[in-house]
Amino acid sequence: MIASVSQPSDYTNVAYPSGARIISLIKQAGVREIVAVPDIVTSNGLLWPISEDPDFRLTRICKEDEGVSICAAMSYNGTRAVLMMQQTGLMDSLNAIRAIGIDYARPVVMLVGLQGKEPDVHPDQSQVYGVRIVRPILDVMEISHSLIENPDDVDHIPDAISRAYENSQPHIFLIGRAPELT
Amino acid sequence: MTLYRDDALKALIPHIRDTDIVVAVYQSCFDWLALNPRDLNYVAVGAMGQASSHGLGLALANPDRRVIVLDGDGSLLMNLGSLVSIAEAGVTNFYHFLSANRVYEVNGSHPIPGGQVVDFESLARSAGYAGSHSFTQLKALTDGLADVLALPGPQMSVLELQAGQPYPRDYNYIHSAEARAIFEDALNKPCV
């Protein structure tokens, strides 16, 4: 079945998370390594600023599952990293996440833009099939995840990253609204 | 004269420092574990094709160690983009050895796509590796290894070889929590 948008979404009457605050909280969690495939949801508010931020080392990769392996390998000496991509790359990386993140119990932290999601609609109710299935798939795979849409949703980022590394397990932040630059 | 994988790996052993991380996959891994068991052997690759990417992560996070990846040609074909990512990252401590036997050895020895024509040495060079080399003879490999490992990485060495002696395929070990714990403990052990 091919999904279609039946009703126009309200792109103006919603609040958007702050990219600057997300970056600050990622730093607060002790992360200095970013591994990324560009994603249009997080491009302006996160990836471009990160690419110019001397506190980070950005490793640009060709395909998302490379990043799962890179971040897992970094974790063996305690190096914390965040892997950025959009949900299409997440779907493409599920076997690597299954094998390396879950079977091997490695702390791979991912920040995933939900490309195509309507800003005022919860992802589970999205008209876009590729968005609507993401959370149920992660639930079936027993992968920890959390949703960032509203400005206040970002507050849990440091704790979620720390918990992933302390428990040696993956965590995926799903970004449902494009973060603002400031 | 044919180059056999176990002979090639035996030639590499004297060049491995105690502090080196060795990432090995599939039959190269099984051979290596039999020939040179050591705590800093990294076997937890998880998904086929990912050895080079694990090696990149290890090289970035451990700049004071050399990372030596014993990859397979079928595996690398699944992750060719990693050549570009590795070159882009500029990891000078990264040494890539590719067992090019031109078949999926542990999956029934079916031929890899393009097995008769793919030029891995050129692929690595075109991707931006600092250097790329091919070896078809044991003597040339034995004579050349010290020079390759003295060069700044990333360096690719394509070993055009055939399987040597059969070594046991202990999948349970390479996927075990024990193997990962041994590596992690060794990696984080304070240097004396």
pLDDT tens for residues A72-110?
Answer: 999 999 999 999 999 999 999 999 999 999 999 999 999
A59 to chain B, any CB pair closer than 8 A? The answer is: yes
pLDDT, residue A8, reads 54
The tens digit of pLDDT for each residue in B47-63 reads 889 999 999 999 999 99
Chain B positions with Cβ closer than 8 Å to A: 42, 44-47, 50, 53-58, 60-62, 79, 81-82, 84-85, 88-89, 175, 177, 180, 183-184, 187-188
The answer to whether the beta carbons of residues A80 and A29 sit under 8 Å apart is yes
Give the minimum alpha-carbon distance from B176 to chain A in angstroms, rounded to a whole number: 8
B46: which chain A residues are within 8 Å (Cβ-Cβ)? 69, 72, 96, 99-100, 103-104
Rounded to two decimals, what is the model's pTM?
0.95
Contact B43, B29 (CB under 8 A): yes
d(CA B104, CA A118): 44
Q: Which residue of A has its CA nearest to B180?
A: A104
* Whole-number average pLDDT of chain B: 94
Q: Strand pairing partners for B68?
A: B22, B95
Looking at the DSSP bridge assignments, the partners of residue A174 are A112, A147
Q: Rounded to an integer, what distance in angstroms lies between the CA atom of residue B21 and that of residue B24?
A: 10
Phi-psi region for residue B184, left (φ > 0), alpha (ψ -120 to 50) or beta? alpha
Name every chain A residue with its beta carbon within 8 A of the beta carbon of B54: 69-70, 72-73
The whole-angstrom separation of Cα B52 and Cα B61 is 14
**Is B82 in contact with A66 (Cβ distance < 8 A)?**
yes
Question: Which residues have C-beta within 8 Å of that of residue B2, sequence separation ≥ 6?
Answer: B161, B162
What is the per-residue burial (b if ≥16 Cβ within 10 Å, else e) of B42-72?
Answer: bbbbbbbbbbbbbbbbbbbbbeebbbbbbbb
Give the pLDDT means over successive 10-residue stretches in chain B (192 positions): 92 97 92 95 92 98 98 95 98 97 86 93 98 97 98 98 89 94 95 60
- Nearest Cα of chain B lies from the Cα of A137 at a distance, in angstroms, of 19
Would the CB atoms of A57 and B60 count as touching at under 8 Å?
A: yes
**CA separation for the pair B11, B85 (Å, rounded):** 29
Query: How many interface pairs between A and B have CB atoms less than 8 angstroms apart?
Result: 94
Rounded to 5 degrees, what angle do the CA atoms A85, A90, A95 make?
135
Query: Which residues of chain A have a pLDDT value below 70?
Result: 1-11
Q: Which residues in A lie closer than 8 A to residue B67 (C-beta atoms)?
A: none
Residues contacting residue B166 through CB under 8 Å, at least 6 positions apart: none
Which residue, chain included where needed, has tokens 């044919």? B2
